[in-house]
Every structure is written in structure tokens, then in C-alpha cells.
Structure 1
Amino acid sequence: MDSLQKVRRGAILALVAAFMAVPALVAAQTTRPNIVFILTDNLGYGEIGAYGGGVTRGAPTPRIDSLAKEGMRFLNFNMETQCTPSRSSLMTGRWAIRSGTHSVPFGGVADGLTQWEVTIGEALSSAGYATGYYGKWHLGSHDGRLPNDQGFDEWFGIPRTTDESLWPSSPGWSADIMPAEQIMEGRKGSPSRPLAVYDTIQRRLIDAEITRRAVSFIGARAQAGKPFFAYVSLTQPHLPTVPNPSFQGRTGNGDWADMLAEMDSNVGQILDAVDRAGARDNTIVVFTSDNGPEFFRPWDGWAGPWRGQYFTALEGGIRVPFMVRWPGRIASGTVNNDIVHGVDMFATLAAFGGAAVPTDRPFDSIDQSDFFLGKRVTSAREGFPIWCADRLQAVKWRNWKLHFYRQDTMFDPPVRNPVPTIYNLYTDPREEKPTPDSWVVGPVLKIVGEFERSVKQHPVIPMGTPDPYRPGGASR
């Protein structure tokens, strides 16, 4: 073989080796999926088309419904009963009662998660993910407890809740007495900064800006070739339930329907951003709500077949829409009625992303990744306790529900039942006719007992606990 032939042969071998290395490189880069988690605010079970809403509520929701067709739709996905507790359990994988976040804060105390808590943002960031948070936080109002302090590279949104947008236009309100909520942004390692007062004008505009920033984050991070976690916390349909000006009058069916059309469009823009980035097949997309529907007129929502709304332990307060899509990994068009809880998202997303979960504290999150992927037929969870604020109100186990208190609406005073009432959710989904199936008390009390034993070893963090929090006096 002459020298020219050797050079050619070497070049060919090098080229073949390079082509053989490409799939391995691509595989290494795509092993960990991107994650887009879309959380709505007070969206009832029956609002969107895939759950019987959509056109029956005045506006079709084709983009949201597409997730149900292209992924898995859950009929028995549950959250905690209020905004802050649900967001806390999603973020920490722990019941909110453990973290001092069992209730919506109303001022006067240090609100939100202590820095001792480990968030899913921190876990995925430590695993190499780019992390962005866009929208309502409700887990801390000041530097040290905002998303950029809790594992997110950047954030934009509101620290608390949307009803505060009504303050500046309320008779008698004064910023000297009660400062207005601010729309804010921040980056990891730097203080967050206020951008504008969150008033009724900004309330109509904010979800469009949340969506715009989330879309920008997805495109930029996908181009950088780094796995990303985009947590998109829309403010709709929380009261005041009003649409963006560009959607007002769009449906002809009023503000609620116009808002629903806008929400569907915003979700569609996020899905399109994933597609444009060429990341569809390697991106997990989740769509859900933080709790049951609005109760205040004229903005009251719809819980579908269930009774109750947020702040109650009834199914209408805790059972929410949930869809997850991961093309080629999660079977499309599948529907199940097994119990899954929002608290399970930490362990499940951590498993998908190769992230570690905390081992030094009670961790209530159950890894449902095998269930989502079809590697196991049933959910890894059979039941869970239900708190209304710091009160253990009920326990759900399989298709039964045991209520320790009666409370039909968020404004009804809770009345302790002399004997716990038990409902079979198959035969009585509206929880109106107690059943004498008292044998259910056994497995229910087992769930309660496991929690109580864990609290004896690891006491709950009182609401309003300031930083630095050190369990048992130990440093973090």
C-alpha cells in the first residue's frame, strides 16, 4: 500500500469513526429530558375540553386537549386544598404541613419556604439543568425566599397572589398602609427587583408576559444544548378572572370563556416553542392545576362531576386536571383513574432527570416514573391525608374517603363529625351519602399513624418561622 492509499484509508477510517461517535454523543446529550411544567391557578376539574369543559364553558381548548391525546390523562390526580400548600408540596415533595406552608399567608409573618427546604428547582439545578420560573410563586415574598433563591437561574412573576391586584383600585386603600404587590424578576445570585405594581391593568397582561418569557427561555436553553426545566405558573383563572385585552370579546361568551381561550393559546405557544426548538421528543410536558375551582362570584369555576371547591377536602377541592406528554416514552391517548398526588412530582421528575432527592427529612413524594412509563400497571400510591390549613380534615384511600370534619364550602365553619363519615367514591362521587363500610377505618388510620410517627421524630416547621431554620438546632 503506497503512502497516498494509507492517507486515504486513514481518512476514511477517521470519518467512519466520527459518524459512529455522533449517535453516542447525541444519546449522551439527550439522556436527560427537558421538563416543561405548566401550572394553572384555581382551574377546576371540569373547565377544559378533555375533562368535559371547553365548549361547554364557552371556549374550546384544542391546544391543551392535544396533550391528553398525545400523552397520558389522569382522572384521579390530587392536590392540596389551597394555593400555597399545593405549590409547597409540588416544590418540596413534602406535605405542606411539614414546611410551615399549610395556609395562604395573609401578612404579619415570615411567609413561604425556609431556605432549609430543598426544592425540585435545586435538585434539577444540581443535576445540571438550566432552570427558569415564570409566574405566580406564593412561597415567599422577600429576597432569600424567592425562586432565584430556591434553585432557579431566573424568574419573573408575582411573589404572592392575584387578588392583590384589586388593592390599588379598592376604596380606602393606601400604599402607606399596605404596600401593593409588585411584579418582579430576578437571577440566581442577585437580589430580585420590582418592575411594576400588580394592579388590574397588569393583571390582564401578565400571563402573556409569563408565556413570552417562558418561550424565550425554552428556545435559548434548547439552543445551548443543556437540559432545561421551565416551571410556568400561569395566574389564570384566579380572580379577578379577566382576559388579556387582545382576547376580550373573542368568544362572545363573556370574560371566563375569553380567559379560557387565552389560556389555551398561551399553552399552545409554549408547545410550539418546544417544537421550534426541535426538542419535542425529548421534552416532558405537564399541564395541571394547583387546586379546585374559584368560588367567588362572578368568577366561580366548575369542578365537573365533583362537589366542592378549593379550601375544602371534597373532591372538587382536590381533584384536578393533569396531563403529561413525553413522545415515544409515555403512551399516547392513555387514561387512568389511579390515585396520584402533586407531592409525587418531585420524586418522579427527579427520577426522569437523574436528580437526587433529600434523605435527611421526611419525604412524602413517591416516584411514579415507572407508572407513567407503563412499566407498572398501577400507581405506587394508594392514599393520602388531606389537610385544610393545619387541620387533618380527611383521608383518601383507594375509592374511599373518610372525613373527620364536615365543611361544604370554604366559608362554612368546619364541624367535627361525632363519627367519621365514609364515602365510596365509585357509588357516591359527590360525597353525599355516607356508607357503613367501617372496615375502611383500618387502612385510613394506618396512613394517619405513619404521619404522626414521622412528626414525633421530625417536628413540623411552624408557620412564620424565619431563616435560618435549623432542625433540632443543627446547622444546615
Structure 2
Amino acid sequence: MCLVCSLLFVCLVVFSSCQNKAADNPVKPNIIVILADDLGYGDMGAYNPQSLIMTPYLDQLAVEGMKFTDAHTTSAVCTPTRYSLLTGRYNWRTRLKEGVLTGKSKALIPADRTTLGSMLQRSGYTTAFIGKWHLGMDWGLKEGEAFEEGGWNPEDYDQLDFSKPIENAPGTRGFDYSLALPASLDIAPYVYVENNQITSIPTKVTIDEGEYSWWREGPTSDDFIHEEVTPLFFKKSINYIQEQAKSNTPFFLYLALPSPHTPILPTEAWQGKSGLLPYADFIMMIDDYIGQLNQTLKDAGIEENTLLVFTSDNGCSPAAGFDKMVEMGHQPSGIFRGHKADIYEGGHRVPMIVKWPSKIKPTTVSNVTISQTDLMATFADLVGDTLGENEGEDSSSFLKILFGEQENEDLREGKVFHSVNGTFAIRKGDWKLITAKGSGGWSFPKPGDLAEAELPEMQLYNLRIDPSETQNQFLQNPEKAEELKQLLIKYIQEGRSTPGPKQLNDPFDGEWKQTWFMDED
């Protein structure tokens, strides 16, 4: 063989070897999860053709990626949803069996619980959290003070020493960098926590009495201006993306928006733009920032290998002017019944769009029932991580759906949902069982309503033929109701809803309002 031929042969062998190695070790994608706060299923044109709110950039995401029509949160309120999204575990397995945390609650996620952030860290990712945390963190206390949970009043924060470092904040739960709003934009204390330290000590107490811009009275830092929080989080996220684009290390960004949750604060440029209510203006402002963030990925040259997820933490809140918008012709929940806090579909069925240009075909739609808990197993599957027995106990991978390798097959047997007052629902195929007479939340019939007393013990709906949950078949189909009830009991008692050894639910000092499932073994 001649020298030139020999050299060509060697080059081909080396090239082939490099190709095989690259195939065995593909470049891991950057991952961005954007979680809106109180955005309804019907508040985007991509999900509701009759929507009166213009959302061109969110609609463009649906064109560029895959739209899920049957995606769900685990809860109809924010703290529980955020726990489940980050851990792949149902929120009611924690000490929080109903409601949400306060602004000074202790950390809900224990140090030994794997999160999306810590799982991706061990897979070589740089991670960042920017936005609304609302999962508790352990504040420093003044000398001689003992921690008391407290409630929503300004005096409940008197025992806190804001000059001390904060423990068990996002920086200790899987994020290399974090800039956090401790709770909601209407829950004190109004401070920024950057990498476990407050950026500015509170010096004042503020409250706004506006109809839609209202927030609870409480300690506020000089650098904290309510109207500027959402824009700041977007700008920080865009800057983070631009910086990480210069690195060869994959990154994970979890951007948890505090909006369009109350206080509803569109900036001056967006006020009145929708012709509806400030809530709609706020969504249009958020949509524009989403467009800027999406364009940043393109300009930075990393769009092709970035997986972007956009979703919401629950349905639209009545505090946004829900009923008034319905009167004006806009349906925040689309065709679905109920809203935030409710066990009905309007409480926990949410938009979810996943975009990854190099892997996900544009303009695709999936009708498979998925849960935000499934992000844990999906991302683990994506990066080649194997979850342990006590990680992501309620998470199933939908990676094959994203890649078009699986279409309408359910990921697992059933999925569980939860309302603000602790009411359970379970979904299996087309059927949904609600373990209460009414909404379990804030819409009619509310828990304790006189009208509720005359209703059947539970509710059973076939969502394929009755997606608006108007025809309760509990009395007509007791066998199906019992089948779903027993499946729910199994999921509760086994500490997981996926295959694997039994796990323990977290201890709880009080009593669950619903105890029927604890009477059977």
C-alpha cells in the first residue's frame, strides 16, 4: 500500500472511531424549564382559538415544538405543584397535605431529596434557579427567638434576623446559582435571596390596595419593587443564557415566574394593551419576554441543542377577574370546568409546550396524559441517569413521545391530582374519580356549601365524552369508581405510583381531612 493510501486509511479509521465515540457520547442538550404562575389553559391562542388574549410568541413556541393537550400539575395551587415538578414525587407525600406555605415556612424539600437540579448536576450540568421559590427556606432567627410558623401578618416576621445567611434555600437544593423570591409576589417578606443571602435588608413595610395589584403587608427591601420583579427575572435569565452559551458545559435553567399571579402588575408600556383586564395585559407582557428569551437562544447559536419547556403551575385564579373575563367573552380555562384551587380540570390541566429543534418535530401535538412529575424521569432518561428507588417515585419518562417513537400509549396506569383543601382525584384512561362531592376548592360547589350536601359522595367523569365534567356517573358506574378508588389507595399506601419497592410517605403531625384510604390495607 502506498504512503498516501496508508495515511488516508489511518485517517478514515480515526474519523470512524471519533464518529462512533460521538454517537456513544452525544452532546447533552441545555435544558430550560419556564413555569408560569396561575396561567390558565385557555389563556393562550395555541390552546384556545377563541382566546381574546394575544400571545404570538407563546403560540410560536407551539409551532416550533410539541404541544401537549392533556398535561397536568399534581395540585391546583402553587407550592405543591413546585415540589412535584422538582422532585418527581406527589406533594401530598410530604408534610403539606393541603394549602400552600407561608413566606417564612421551613424548607419543604429535605436535603437528601433529589431534585431536577441535583440530578442534572451529577450528570455534569451547570444549574440555575431564577424566580419564585415558594418551597420554604430556613431563615436566621434573632437571639433568644424560637421558630414559630406563624401566618400572613407583618408581626409574624418579627423573630427573623434578615442579616443572617439563609439555610436550605435553592442553592442547597441542586442549583449552582439562584436568585429567588421566597414565596409569591403577594406574600411577604419582599426580598431577593441570591445564593442563600438576602441582597438587601428590609427597611420598610408596604402594601398596595389596588383591586388586582393587591399584596399582603410585610417587610420589604429597598431594592424590591413589585412592578420590576417579573422583568428582572427575565433579564437575569436572558443574561444567564448568554453567558452559558460561551461554555461547553450544558446548563439547566429553571425560571419560575411569579406572574400572572397577583399582584397583577403589567408595566406601563403594556397597561390597557389587551382591551380586557390587567391580567390579560400581564400575560401579553410575559409573552413578549418569552419571545425575547426564545430569540436569545437563536442569537446565541444554541437553539438547536436546547430543550425548552413552557408550562404553568395551575389554572387561572378568580382573583385575576376570572368571572368578569368570562362575561367579556374570554374563557381562562377554555372548555374545562373550574379554576385555580379546584380539583376540576380547570384547576390542574395546564399548557405544556416542549421545543428542541434538533430532536422534536415542529408543529406536533400529543394527546397523551402527562404530569409535571414526569419531567424528572424524562430528563434522567435524556442524560443517561438512572434514578434510585427513592427518587422520582411518581415520575415516568415521556422521552419517546418527544422523539415520535410513541404516540397515544399512556405512560403508566394512573395519575393523581390534588386540590387546595386536600381533595384527591385519580385519572385512568378516560375516567376520572374525584373523592369529594364538590370542587374541593374555590368554585361552586365549594366545600361546606349547602348545595354540596345533596350531591353524591364522589364524582366520576368520562373525560373523552364529557371533558367539561358535567355528568357525574358515580351512581351509574360504581364498579369503575371502586376500581379507581382502589388504585388510588394502592398509590398512597405504596409510597409510589411507578414500579419499584415500597417507599414511605413523609410523617405528618396532624390528621388528613380525608382518611378513608387509611382504613384499608
Q: TM-score range by the shorter chain?
A: 0.7 to 0.9
Partner Cα separation in structure 2 for residue 22 and residue 222 of structure 1:
24
**Equivalent residue letter for 1:323:** I
Name the SS of the counterpart of 1:348 in structure 2: helix
**Equivalent residue letter for 2:238:** V
**Equivalent residue in structure 2 for 1:67, among 55, 61, 65:** 61
Map 1:354-373; keep pairs closer than 5 Å.
354-360=384-390, 363-373=393-403
- Alignment correspondent of 1:212: 235
Q: Deviations over 1:243-262 (max 9, x none)?
A: 12343344555422321221
**Equivalent residue in structure 1 for 2:198, among 184, 193, 197:** 193
State whether structure 2 residue 125 is matched by structure 1 residue 129.
Answer: yes
Q: Deviations over 1:391-445 (max 9, x none)?
A: 3432222122212213334272256865322111122222122122333225413
Partner Cα separation in structure 2 for residue 271 and residue 28 of structure 1:
30
Partner Cα separation in structure 2 for residue 224 and residue 374 of structure 1:
30
RMSD value over aligned CA atoms? 3.1
Partner Cα separation in structure 2 for residue 244 and residue 13 of structure 1:
64
Native 8 Å contact 2:463 2:469 kept in 1? yes
Partner Cα separation in structure 1 for residue 299 and residue 461 of structure 2:
48
Change in 2 beyond 3 A, CA 1:109/1:161: closer
**Equivalent residue letter for 2:346:** G
Change in 2 beyond 3 A, CA 1:144/1:48: same
The TM-score normalised by the length of structure 2 is 0.76
Change in 2 beyond 3 A, CA 1:459/1:99: same
Native 8 Å contact 2:104 2:137 kept in 1? no
State whether structure 2 residue 301 is matched by structure 1 residue 263.
Answer: no
Native 8 Å contact 1:32 1:354 kept in 2? no
- Alignment correspondent of 1:97: 92
- Alignment correspondent of 1:148: 171
Partner Cα separation in structure 2 for residue 30 and residue 74 of structure 1:
26
State whether structure 2 residue 162 is matched by structure 1 residue 157.
Answer: no
Partner Cα separation in structure 1 for residue 297 and residue 491 of structure 2:
40
Partner Cα separation in structure 2 for residue 101 and residue 373 of structure 1:
36
Q: Deviations over 1:331-377 (max 9, x none)?
A: 22111222101111111112112233232367111111112212122
Change in 2 beyond 3 A, CA 1:344/1:439: same
State whether structure 2 residue 241 is matched by structure 1 residue 241.
Answer: no
Native 8 Å contact 2:103 2:183 kept in 1? no
Q: In terms of mean alpha carbon deviation, does 447-456 or 225-234 score higher?
A: 447-456
- Alignment correspondent of 1:44: 40
State whether structure 2 residue 449 is matched by structure 1 residue 449.
Answer: no
Change in 2 beyond 3 A, CA 1:27/1:215: farther
Partner Cα separation in structure 2 for residue 373 and residue 393 of structure 1:
32
Partner Cα separation in structure 2 for residue 182 and residue 396 of structure 1:
39
Deviation at 1:278, TM superposition (A): 1.4
State whether structure 2 residue 506 is matched by structure 1 residue 461.
Answer: yes
Partner Cα separation in structure 2 for residue 36 and residue 192 of structure 1:
24
Name the SS of the counterpart of 1:270 in structure 2: helix
- Alignment correspondent of 2:461: 423
Partner Cα separation in structure 2 for residue 18 and residue 195 of structure 1:
56
Native 8 Å contact 1:371 1:380 kept in 2? no
Deviation at 1:126, TM superposition (A): 0.8
Q: In terms of mean alpha carbon deviation, does 415-424 or 222-231 score higher?
A: 415-424
Native 8 Å contact 2:343 2:423 kept in 1? no
Native 8 Å contact 1:371 1:379 kept in 2? no
Partner Cα separation in structure 1 for residue 19 and residue 288 of structure 2:
36
Q: Deviations over 1:169-198 (max 9, x none)?
A: xxxxxxxxxx63312211xxxx32234769
Partner Cα separation in structure 2 for residue 459 and residue 33 of structure 1:
34
State whether structure 2 residue 88 is matched by structure 1 residue 57.
Answer: no
Deviation at 1:41, TM superposition (A): 0.3
Change in 2 beyond 3 A, CA 1:390/1:93: farther
**Equivalent residue in structure 2 for 1:388, among 419, 426, 430:** 419
Partner Cα separation in structure 2 for residue 66 and residue 362 of structure 1:
31
Partner Cα separation in structure 2 for residue 108 and residue 329 of structure 1:
42
State whether structure 2 residue 353 is matched by structure 1 residue 323.
Answer: yes
- Alignment correspondent of 1:432: 470
Name the SS of the counterpart of 1:305 in structure 2: coil
Structure 2 unpaired stretches of 5+: 139-165, 209-223, 326-331, 497-501, 511-521
Partner Cα separation in structure 1 for residue 30 and residue 351 of structure 2:
22
State whether structure 2 residue 81 is matched by structure 1 residue 86.
Answer: yes
Name the SS of the counterpart of 1:350 in structure 2: helix
- Alignment correspondent of 1:374: 404
- Alignment correspondent of 2:214: none
Map 1:157-176; keep pairs closer than 5 Å.
157-164=180-187
**Equivalent residue letter for 1:193:** I
Deviation at 1:383, TM superposition (A): 2.4
Native 8 Å contact 1:339 1:381 kept in 2? no
- Alignment correspondent of 2:317: 294
Change in 2 beyond 3 A, CA 1:22/1:162: same
- Alignment correspondent of 2:153: none
Deviation at 1:385, TM superposition (A): 2.0
- Alignment correspondent of 1:407: 438
Partner Cα separation in structure 2 for residue 9 and residue 85 of structure 1:
65
Partner Cα separation in structure 2 for residue 275 and residue 365 of structure 1:
31
Name the SS of the counterpart of 1:422 in structure 2: strand
Partner Cα separation in structure 2 for residue 379 and residue 216 of structure 1:
38
**Equivalent residue letter for 1:407:** G
Name the SS of the counterpart of 1:391 in structure 2: coil
Partner Cα separation in structure 1 for residue 284 and residue 27 of structure 2:
35
Deviation at 1:199, TM superposition (A): 7.2
Change in 2 beyond 3 A, CA 1:205/1:26: farther
**Equivalent residue letter for 1:400:** W
Q: In terms of mean alpha carbon deviation, does 97-106 or 72-81 score higher?
A: 97-106
Deviation at 1:460, TM superposition (A): 2.3
Structure 1 unpaired stretches of 5+: 165-178, 466-476
- Alignment correspondent of 1:472: none
Change in 2 beyond 3 A, CA 1:81/1:462: farther
- Alignment correspondent of 1:350: 380
Change in 2 beyond 3 A, CA 1:395/1:242: same
Partner Cα separation in structure 2 for residue 222 and residue 358 of structure 1:
31
**Equivalent residue letter for 2:87:** T
